[in-house]
Structure 1
Amino acid sequence: MTGVIPAHVNDAPPPVYADSLDIPVLFRNGPARRPYPQWRTAPHAPWDTAAAFPASDGWYAPTTTWREIIKAATEVGRDVTPNLQQIPQLARGELVARVSPLYAYLGLHDVTPKHPLPHSVGRRLTLNAVYEHGTERTAKNALGYRLGMTMAEWACRSLMGLGQTWHLEDGGPDPALADTFKDPTRRLPDLWGLHEAENAYWLIEAKGGNVGKTTLKDGWKQLSEGSKILHAYAHRRILVGAAAQPHGDLFLTIDHDQHPGQPPLDTVGVSPAPTIPGSPEDHLGASDDALMGTARAQMLVYLALRSSPPSQLRTIALSADRTTRRRRREGITIPLERDDATRALRADARGAAGNLDDEQSLREGARLMGLDDFLTRRIPGTEVHLGMSRRLFAACARLHYEDQVIAERTPGLRAEDQRLTEEPADEEAEEEHRRNQRRIFREQQEEARPRVRRLLRQAYEQGADREWSDLLPDHQEPRLDLGDHPDLLEAATPETYLALRQDDLPYRR
């Protein structure tokens, strides 16, 4: 099996940014007791593997950014968009739910490990004083769930190069096994994904909070149950434990094993690079499945933007050359502080703005200079700005329309169809009903998939030439922002945008 890069292959150290931080990660071959306090005392190796699974177990100390972690938080979780077809404003609430626990209870502190690495930044995540002294158990459990899912997404995608992750409850990678994966009587892992370079599926279970051996063994059982179903295919089992304690460092344990088998189904249609597999966004021009997967993953952001008042929207200028924002060794997002090309193009556009009379002329002039404008806004209730390109927005709009058609044929699925009853329903019965509605919706999505793929490709390619006023429901053209905004920490992928204020980083103890 290919895709594992030898540990001796080195690369330049990752650049240091205002939100850079180190995350200790322990790889091992199965659940064991908490490795206290090895995240500080054990020798750590630098993370030299390039978007791949490491060649050997042990402690590593990768450096990432808070932006990369927030990106993971916004994209991992159950797909709730089928329930929001007529109330897209609720998408903003779901984004708040995914991000706010991290801001509420995590902090940063400076550390000096026993065996410091030359290129580490010496700053790690920890639990803040509010969590330590004033948080009830239920709130701690909520953080544990969100922290586990976020860090599993970050570890698998940003660190090890996995493609888009999906909830296993929606049917898994093989349609022939979908009913088995959807069986509510089975305790299965959270997520699955396809690793292009390994040409193998990954089954992923996430645990977070005060994670001990008992919790991890329970997660390992869930992974074993998933392996029984997927046994015919080559796959990895990945158990990510995101452990955090007051006055300690957030660290990860990644327990794993590998199962041989037949190669994955040919659904992606992309030939991976031999060393650094790209994220799905790197393949949108070549793969209809990558485009559909990316549009599906960005649907929450699309709905949040689409439902926003025009006064809250703006477009941000980024270089139209997507190759400068392809996946790198440090992760999926590219921090823009050192994107000299974008900064220079923005400066040129600002210089020319004085000679232009209106917004449309300014936008056309920026395009001629090599800039593209991404729609963005700050998500209310968070400190995060999210956005996307016009062609991805156009693809999401088409996917949203097709989902609406399916939702209309699935009574009771949409949030607006729900009505209060005089007597509270049995919780288990309600969950079974919701699960059945999601199953019907997903089955209809799969039936429509070949046709929708073609429609999304058409919308994506035509979207680059459409005006924002044609794509937005109020038909207004948002203001083009050419400013540098030194207080914003910006990051982008080929088709998405994320930013946060430097003053809004987690509290530093």
Structure 2
Amino acid sequence: MVYADSVDIPVLFRDGPAKRPYRQWRTAAHGAWSSPGTFPESDGWYLPTTTWREIVKAATEVGRDVTPWLHRAEQLARGELVARVAPLYAYLGIHAYAGQHADNAGRRLTVNAIYEHGTERTAKGALGYRLGMTMTEWACRYLMGLGQTWHIEDGGPDPDPALRDLFKDPARTLPDLWGLHAGEDAYWLIEAKGGNVRKKSLDEGWHQLKEGSKILHAYEHRLILCGASVQRQGDLFLTIDHDRHGGKPPSAARGERRTGSQPAGMPEDHIGDSDDALMGAARAQMLMYLAMRSAPPPRLGAVGVSADRSTRRAQFGGLTTPLEHDASTQEIRRAARARTDDEDSRRALSRSMGLDDFLSYRIPGTELRLGMSRRLFAACAQLHREDALIAERTPGLRAEDRRVADEPADEYIQEERRRSERHIFRDQQEQLRTRIEPRVRNAYERGAERTWRELLPSGQEPTLDLEEHPGLLESATPETYLAVRQEDLPYEDR
């Protein structure tokens, strides 16, 4: 189905780095994307359709986990969210074209005139990094069904405890991300490139993947090199260079349960029966949780979303469900509006009619509204408390405890110190995981019965918004919410 923010993304699959496929993103015959949630059976050009909402959601969730540094400066989470999405809004545009398949949107992403004619090289580099990470996350998770991605510098897949230190070796040049594809029963090692991507950059990324493969050689794994290319007078297109290596399947690995072992797709789809999925979902949404927790109370609101999670599970075309065609949510909103004007009565009536109230917050400096359920918010709160206790025991981890005079002058030494601190923090998280999981699970289950007044630090209940907002494009997963305004989409050159 095509929505107001739908765009088509040309994707080329091939078996290794090669030169830029000049203009083939427009001239080649593109196959329809017919393998949702899986890796395609054959190489070549494909033309999947997605939404701008899916792309910006991917942007908010991918990359280094900065939350260990935010335990006493939670408001900085808002700035990090701005940094992840602002370059996309600033420099991308949309243009129309003749779609090749009936379900194509007939619109593609490109760079806008500001990027082409007025942007300095360093700013283009910033867009390239964010675009590479965002579109890699989108391609791997939203398109091909990979589970939660993790930044490899915090430690890669470790089916064998002996591998843990190898992935943390600073002397190795390793890829950006890793994840577990449950459908393939294989690990994925992932390197992201973005911007004006050329073969030299891809060759460097392929070398990083090969270094990771040397560590993981005994286990089934796939190498993924994603190049998100965009340049003047060209469409945004992806090249996905790949290689698969045989070995022992991750499911056969013995020993303790490891991070990343949750089932395929969106962790939220499996929260009810998997502690790994719950921990993965809470960890993935921690940045959003901290942004909302630290927001001024008047800036917070609540939005009504159907309490039936089964209507918002990962499906063909992505991991989020657009709400403009969610008949259940729209009907309950209308019915609740018609029956009462009193805030408390409206909230109680909405719940009795099958509507859940998700906390929502417009991220300052962006056109993005994010939100989450009471259950997930409560789980994040508990995980945040557990992380804070670990941070207190990790010397020098918190940015607010640092003094400039104590910092080494050499940037490389600074980065190595940061890496060491992150590893200590992550190791303690894993060591305490069996103790933390039941507490997070209990918080999640109890969250359904708690009010926002009980969950929020301010002790205030946000106003429940059930009104119609023409032009507001809403989407949701089982436990999260995202909305953008149609008028705020990237500039469309008609």
TM-score range (shorter-chain normalised) is over 0.9
The answer as to 2:90 corresponding to 1:104 is yes
Across the aligned residues of Structure 1 and Structure 2, the Cα RMSD in angstroms comes to 1.5
Partner of 1:333: 320
Query: Does structure 2 conserve the Cα–Cα contact (< 8 Å) formed by 1:316 and 1:374?
Result: yes
Name the amino acid aligned to 2:271: L
The answer as to 2:392 corresponding to 1:420 is no
Cα deviation per residue 1:375-398 (whole Å; 9 max; x = unaligned)?
Answer: 011000111000100000000000
> Map of 1:64-463 to 2, 5 A cutoff?
64-112=50-98, 116-174=100-158, 175-264=161-250, 265=253, 267=258, 277-354=264-341, 357=342, 359-421=343-405, 425-463=409-447
Per the TM alignment, residue 419 of structure 1 is displaced from its structure 2 partner at its CA by 1.8
Classify the secondary structure of the residue corresponding to 1:421: helix
Partner of 1:6: none
| Structure 1: distance between partners of 2:16 and 2:238 | 13
> Map of 1:42-53 to 2, 5 A cutoff?
42-53=28-39
Name the amino acid aligned to 2:231: Q
Per the TM alignment, residue 422 of structure 1 is displaced from its structure 2 partner at its CA by 8.7
Name the amino acid aligned to 2:391: A
Cα deviation per residue 1:180-234 (whole Å; 9 max; x = unaligned)?
Answer: 1111111100000011111111000000011111111111000000000011110
Partner of 1:496: 480
Classify the secondary structure of the residue corresponding to 2:397: coil
Classify the secondary structure of the residue corresponding to 2:25: helix
Equivalent pairs counted in the alignment come to: 486
Classify the secondary structure of the residue corresponding to 2:127: helix
Per the TM alignment, residue 112 of structure 1 is displaced from its structure 2 partner at its CA by 3.2
Quickly say closer, same or farther: Cα 1:259–1:269, change in 2 above 3 A: closer
| Structure 2: distance between partners of 1:104 and 1:124 | 16
Query: Does structure 2 conserve the Cα–Cα contact (< 8 Å) formed by 1:278 and 1:326?
Result: no
Classify the secondary structure of the residue corresponding to 1:508: strand
Q: Which runs of 4+ in 1 moved over 6 A?
A: 268-271
Classify the secondary structure of the residue corresponding to 2:272: coil
Per the TM alignment, residue 268 of structure 1 is displaced from its structure 2 partner at its CA by 7.7
| Structure 1: distance between partners of 2:106 and 2:9 | 10
Query: Does structure 2 conserve the Cα–Cα contact (< 8 Å) formed by 1:39 and 1:249?
Result: yes
| Structure 2: distance between partners of 1:78 and 1:325 | 27
Per the TM alignment, residue 474 of structure 1 is displaced from its structure 2 partner at its CA by 0.8
Cα deviation per residue 1:234-254 (whole Å; 9 max; x = unaligned)?
Answer: 010000000001111000000
Per the TM alignment, residue 506 of structure 1 is displaced from its structure 2 partner at its CA by 0.2
Per the TM alignment, residue 120 of structure 1 is displaced from its structure 2 partner at its CA by 1.5
Query: Does structure 2 conserve the Cα–Cα contact (< 8 Å) formed by 1:269 and 1:287?
Result: no
| Structure 2: distance between partners of 1:235 and 1:326 | 26
| Structure 2: distance between partners of 1:77 and 1:83 | 15
Name the amino acid aligned to 1:403: D
Query: Does structure 2 conserve the Cα–Cα contact (< 8 Å) formed by 1:19 and 1:67?
Result: yes
Which structure 1 segments of 5+ residues have no match? 1-14
Quickly say closer, same or farther: Cα 1:451–1:66, change in 2 above 3 A: same
Cα deviation per residue 1:80-101 (whole Å; 9 max; x = unaligned)?
Answer: 0000001100000000000000
| Structure 1: distance between partners of 2:210 and 2:259 | 26
The answer as to 2:15 corresponding to 1:29 is yes
Partner of 1:17: 3
Query: Does structure 2 conserve the Cα–Cα contact (< 8 Å) formed by 1:411 and 1:417?
Result: no
Query: Does structure 2 conserve the Cα–Cα contact (< 8 Å) formed by 1:171 and 1:177?
Result: no
Classify the secondary structure of the residue corresponding to 1:329: coil
Per the TM alignment, residue 176 of structure 1 is displaced from its structure 2 partner at its CA by 3.0
Quickly say closer, same or farther: Cα 1:308–1:123, change in 2 above 3 A: same
Which structure 2 segments of 5+ residues have no match? none
TM, length-normalised to structure 1:
0.93
Q: 1:471 aligns with which of 441, 448, 455?
A: 455
Quickly say closer, same or farther: Cα 1:110–1:319, change in 2 above 3 A: same
TM, length-normalised to structure 2:
0.96
Query: Does structure 2 conserve the Cα–Cα contact (< 8 Å) formed by 1:270 and 1:283?
Result: no
